[in-house]
Each structure stands twice: as C-alpha cells, then as structure tokens.
Amino acid sequence: MSKEEVVLLGCWVSPFCMRVKIALNEKGIEYEDREEDLFGGKSELLLNSNPIHKKVPVLLHYGKPLSESTIIVGYIDETWASPPLLPSCAYGRAKARFWADFIDKKLHDAGAQIWRTNGEEREVGTRDFIEILKQLEEALGERNYFGGEGDAFGFVDIIAIGMASWFPAYEKFGGFKVEDHCPKLSGWIKRCKQRESVRKVLPDPEKVYEFLVMFRKMQGLD
C-alpha cells in the first residue's frame, strides 16, 4: 500500500487523532500524516471532508473521507484484519464499545473541568475526574489491557491511551497524581507506552502542558 492511499488530516496534540495513528501503527499501515493548522485556518480538504463537524481527525482511504475517531478506529479494524483490535464475539465487541463510549462521553470533558477552570470549579473537576478514573480502573481489574481479545492490547486501550497523554498536564493543573489514586491504571499507562505503536505517537507531556497553558492564556483564563 502506498502512502497516498491512506491520508490522515490531524493535529499532534489531539487525543482523538492519536487514536487513529496508533490503530494504523498496530495494523502496520503506512499513511501520510498531514498536520492541520487549527488556529491558522483549517484546510479546504478538511472542511469538505467533514462538513458536519469540521473537526480532525479525518481519515481519507483512497480519497473517501471518514470522521469521528472511534468510528475511524472501528473502520480500520474491519478493513485490515490483523491483528484484531475488537474481540471476535459479539458480546465482547459490545462490551468494548461500551467502554469506548464511556471514555468518549466522560473522560475528555472531565479533564476539561480541570484545565479550563480555576479555583473551586477546578477542585470539583479534579475530584470528578478521579472518580471516573476509578471506574475505568475497576473495569481494567487485574488484566494487563482493556482488550481487545482476552488480555491483548486492543480497541479500548487505543481509545483511552491518547487521552492519557494529557494526564500529566491534568496532574499539574489539579495538583494530584493518577498513580496515588489508581495504581493499576497507572501501570496500564506505562505498559501501553512501551509499545512502539503508542510511543511514536504520544507527544512529550511537557509540550502538551505548554499547549494547554497557551490555550488558557488565549481564553483569558490566566
């Protein structure tokens, strides 16, 4: 497969784009990574490819556009069979989709309640965020990965680990350590980061923090 056949319109700091990159890496698919300038103006290709949400990531496969990261990761899994990211049984797939949906609905917004706020609002946001992490940790249990199939790295891990690249920034803003509240989840993050598919995608935590500090200044929060 030539790189022109799979093109990603993305942004380095977006956890949603990281998901798509990690899924493609897991499958061993080469792709062209086109960085969008989200502040300087989105490309015509992005706007035409995702006219409803006008957001990254967009994956172009032979020029056909796909959007919404969780849906794109599902498409990647269905299009390139090996290694499988979702379980082989329908019930396992439904459970994996449940946790992906939980992460989509809860985790990013809860994190925003830490880094986009101040004072008491941030304290409440930090407590809520830790509660959500504890629910995730309980779902992980004693396993190495959320899976995927059995104990293997898979769909839910990919949906969650991009989000985890922002955790060090949340920790700084919120004054807490994920490890102190959720040691098993913390171990899971470390295991994921040892995978090449993940390591070459996740940005330097310091750069994510600087990005969020800059964003806060732009929004007049500091």
Applying the rule CB under 8 A, the residues between 98 and 157 that interact with a second copy are 98, 101-102, 135
Minimum distance from CB of 135 to a second copy (Å)?
6
Instruction: Please say whether the dihedral angle defined by the alpha carbons of residues 72, 106, 93 and 82, taken in this order, is positive or negative.
Output: positive
DSSP secondary structure of 152-165: S--HHHHHHHHHHT
φ and ψ of 62, to 5 deg: 50, 40
Q: What separation in angstroms does the CA of 27 have from each of 22, 30, 46, 72? A: 9, 9, 24, 13
Minimum distance from CB of 192 to a second copy (Å)?
22
Does the protein bind a second copy through residue 81 (CB under 8 A)?
A: no
Residues 6+ apart with CB under 8 A from 64: none
Does the protein bind a second copy through residue 49 (CB under 8 A)?
A: no
- Contact pick of 7, 18, 66, 163 for a second copy (by CB under 8 A): 66
In angstroms, the CA 46 to CA 42 distance is: 7
Size of the site for a second copy (CB under 8 A): 21
| Selected range binding a second copy among 96-104, 161-169, 193-201, 207-215, rule: CB under 8 A | 96-104
- Contact pick of 71, 124, 214, 221 for a second copy (by CB under 8 A): 71
Residues in the chain: 222
Binding site for a second copy (CB under 8 A): 52, 61, 64, 66-68, 71-72, 74-75, 78-79, 90-91, 93-94, 97-98, 101-102, 135
